[in-house]
């Protein structure tokens, strides 16, 4: 994968985190595929619409994040990012700072990278 493409994929991953903190739902909608699936640290599976609803009603609120590592691999129109962050959030009423890893699948659509799947886990 070319450095330019790796940079583009990393940008999308970082935009997702920044948009969660600033509650920029328009940006999230733009960088996340309509059919994306999310797996949370509990194993719970959510569609994009379900996850967005939880954010909008305040059941998932993100306050701060610090990136620890971000690597990308892939070819052509598919990429796989491994990201680790500390994330301060209130999830279902519990506010905490979590050390999380995320495995993020992306697909290039019309020359733009879109998140199609994300699996979070505690580190």
pLDDT at 56: 95
CATH number at residue 22: 3.10.450.50
pLDDT by residue for the chain (123 residues), tens digit each?
899 899 999 999 999 999 999 999 999 999 999 999 999 988 999 999 999 999 999 999 999 999 999 999 998 899 999 999 999 999 989 999 999 999 999 999 999 999 999 999 999
**And the tokens for 38?**
């999310």
Work out how many domains the chain is built from and give that number. 1
- What is the pTM assigned to this prediction? 0.95
Extract the runs of DSSP E, i.e. beta strands, from 1-123.
Answer: 32-39, 45-47, 60-75, 78-91, 94-109, 112-122
Query: Domain limits at 60?
Result: 3-122
């Amino acid at each position: 994968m070319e450095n330019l493409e790796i940079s583009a994929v990393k940008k999308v991953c970082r935009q997702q985190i920044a948009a969660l903190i600033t509650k920029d739902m328009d940006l999230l909608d733009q960088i996340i595929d309509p059919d994306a699936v999310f797996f949370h640290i509990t194993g719970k599976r959510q569609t994009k619409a379900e996850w967005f609803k939880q954010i909008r009603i305040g059941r998932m609120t993100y306050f701060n994040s610090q990136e620890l590592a971000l690597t990308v691999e892939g070819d052509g129109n598919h990429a796989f990012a491994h990201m680790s962050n500390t994330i301060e959030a209130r999830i279902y009423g519990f506010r905490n700072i979590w050390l999380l890893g995320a495995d993020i699948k992306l697909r290039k659509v019309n020359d733009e990278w879109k998140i199609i799947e994300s699996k979070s886990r505690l580190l």
